[in-house]
Amino acid sequence: MMKRALISVSDKTGVVEFAKGLINNGFEIVSTGGTYKKLQENDVKVIEIDEITKFPEILDGRVKTLHPMVHAGLLAKRDNAEHMKTLEKLNIQMIDLVCVNLYPFKETISKENVTPEQAIEQIDIGGPSMIRSASKNFKSVYVVIDNNDYQTVLNSIENNSDDLALRQKLAAKAFRHTAEYDSIIAHYLSDLNGEEFPDVEVLGYDFHQELRYGENSHQKAAFYQSAMPSDYSIASAKQLHGKELSFNNIKDADAALRIVADFDKPCVAALKHMNPCGIGVDDESIYQAWRKAYTADTMSIFGGIVAVNREVTKEIAEEMHKIFLEIVIAPSFTAEALEILEAKKNIRLMTLDFSKAQEADKHEYVSVMGGLLVQERDTTVDKIDEFKVVTKKAPTKEEMKALLFGQQVVKHVKSNAIVITTTDKTLGVGAGQMNRIGSVKIAIEQEELADEHAPLIMASDAFFPMDDCVQYAAEHGITAIIQPGGSIKDQDSIDMADKFGIAMVFTGRRHFKH
């Protein structure tokens, strides 16, 4: 008996050539709706689905392949005599290949102003059902959901090879495809229902690239992009120059993008090992923001990642060219800047739409052994009118401006986090220490190398458990401190600040970053 293929695709790229290749290898083609029309228009001999089912498409196409003549032909075990007798008795022909891709639900909900009704109409039912039936019976049936596999399948059929390994591989791919499709639908409906943390978390990620290695050279790694990617993410960035990103590059670049997303004014953030080594802002000039970020720590920026939230100019590029940088990511580069930086072989130059920063993912996911932590991203930007002055001396206007800047920065530093800043530039960063006084000493030691001391403030991501941090800061020229408060020994820290005549404000909000 002639073999039979059922083809029903929303993406019709290459489908005509694929169908003709199947026919040349002894297949007859059954199809539906738009695919049937496409094949017929291109002189492909094709049978319409209702000739097989003896039942018309109904309910605006919602029901067309959900029929025993289809699914029995897919699911019957060829080596089971009773299955074969049943097919013969009911005059059902086997289907040996299914080529299906699904209604464009993802593409539909990605459009602006799509209504729930429009989205729901793009939930495919028959397609996933056929894919699952064919995949379950991969021992005898090819299931093809990706036009990139068309030639591979044709080669297998043309060689008359009983390629069970290929069919099993295609089945696994098909189940991943339907699982991701369902995950997108589940998230869409959960969002409509306002379910932030549902009873089951289903995530879909598409392979983006294989990495040379992970955090270390002996670890294998790959980069996957969210099935519904944010426009503001390293996965969405366009690489203009340089070798492929590494595992650590990706993590560092992600951290840099999180920082600059918090600043509307011109901002440059330089990072090493997911911590900022220099952040500079300016009211008008991106060049001045760059100068502030660079001079904040001219040593640590070597081999770093730099995010710039305005176009990179020739002036900036000339200075960047003098040092070794792993990545520069910005909305754009002038032609002159690009020419200058592309002269460096290994630097990665990337562009991204920074105007989409507020559309970044609302949640973040962290894997632990045996589980997954999910939380809202810390996108809170504290405001001066929320600060509470707790000392006898109040901050000056300039100090308050610096305190706000320090508070914006410290939330992006690994805990225990301490930063020393002026109004628009980091001077010292103490990150990831096991005790807070250790971070204070590191930050202040860096600050002593700087030549800018007015105003000079210290920001802490969490409260001071003792007054030693305040004392050390005051003894080293800090004039104002910002911290959340909340320690049982808060009064000791307040008294120490008053002793040295420095100002301190409480925010009431912690910004731990583990």
How distant, in Å, are the alpha carbons of 225, 231, 278, 307 from that of 329?
18, 14, 15, 5
Q: Which DSSP state fits 470? A: H
Using an 8 Å Cβ cutoff, are 154 and 194 in contact? no
Among 12, 83, 136, 393, the active-site one is: 136
- Is 136 one of the annotated active-site residues of the chain? yes
Q: Which DSSP state fits 226? A: E
> With 0-12 CB in 10 A as exposed, 13-18 as middle and 19+ as buried, what is 67?
middle
Closest CA to 442 of 421, 460, 428: 428
CA atoms within 13 A on the CB side of 495: 7
Q: Which DSSP state fits 58? A: B
Helix ranges, 14-125 (H)? 15-24, 33-41, 49-53, 68-75, 81-89, 105-109, 116-121
Q: For residues 341 and 319, what is the distance between their CA atoms, to the nearest angstrom?
A: 10
Relative to beta strand 480-483, strand 426-430 is unpaired
Among 3, 273, 321, 453, the active-site one is: 273
Token match 């300016």: residue?
A: 282
Q: Which DSSP state fits 431? A: -
Q: For residues 360 and 494, what is the distance between their CA atoms, to the nearest angstrom?
A: 38
In DSSP notation, 142-162 reads EEE--GGGHHHHHHHHHTT--
* CA 364 from centre of chain: 9
Using an 8 Å Cβ cutoff, are 356 and 231 in contact? yes
First-residue to last-residue Cα distance in the chain: 64
* CA 80 from centre of chain: 47
Relative to beta strand 348-351, strand 363-368 is unpaired
Q: What are phi and psi of 246, to 5 degrees?
A: -95, 170
CA atoms within 13 A on the CB side of 65: 26
Closest CA to 490 of 465, 509, 512: 465
Encoded tokens for 438: 């250790």
Q: For residues 221 and 151, what is the distance between their CA atoms, to the nearest angstrom?
A: 28
Closest CA to 117 of 33, 60, 65, 34: 60
Closest CA to 460 of 364, 365, 382, 394: 382
Residue type, 151: Q
Q: Which DSSP state fits 513? A: -
Active site residues: 136, 273
